[in-house]
Amino acid sequence: MISFAFLGGLLLNIGAYLTFKGKIYEAVGIYLFADICWIVMAYERNDYWGVASIFVGVILGLLAFLKMQSGKMNKSINKENDDL
């Protein structure tokens, strides 16, 4: 039987591959599903501090995703010489 830890790790690898390919929106969605797997895993182990910290991370990730999707995040990985 597949555990939630294994499923979350598998989704993390898929998200990393999508990030490598430049498919950021899809990768963030996959990362959020991986986080849900880890929340379930932590809950099953009665690790409520783990559940709370992962949940906060999911909320921050979701807010970042929504900010990217709305076009309000104006960051670029290509720095100009004047930015240094």
Is residue 79 one of the residues assigned to a domain? no
Residue 50 CB neighbours (<10 A): 15
Is residue 82 one of the residues assigned to a domain? no
Is residue 77 one of the residues assigned to a domain? no
Range of the domain at 9: 4-71
Provide the domain count of the chain: 1
Is residue 21 one of the residues assigned to a domain? yes
Question: Can you give the pLDDT of all 84 residues of the chain as single tens digits?
Answer: 788 888 988 999 999 999 899 888 888 889 889 988 889 988 999 999 989 998 898 888 888 778 877 777 665 655 565 555
Tell me the whole-structure pTM to 2 decimals: 0.70
DSSP string across 3-53:
-HHHHHHHHHHHHHHHHHTT-HHHHHHHHHHHHHHHHHHHHHTT-HHHHHH
Residue that has been written with the tokens 């490598």 in this structure? 20
Cα 79 to Cα 11, 25, 46: the distances in Å are 31, 22, 45
Is residue 37 one of the residues assigned to a domain? yes
Identify the pLDDT of residue 66: 82
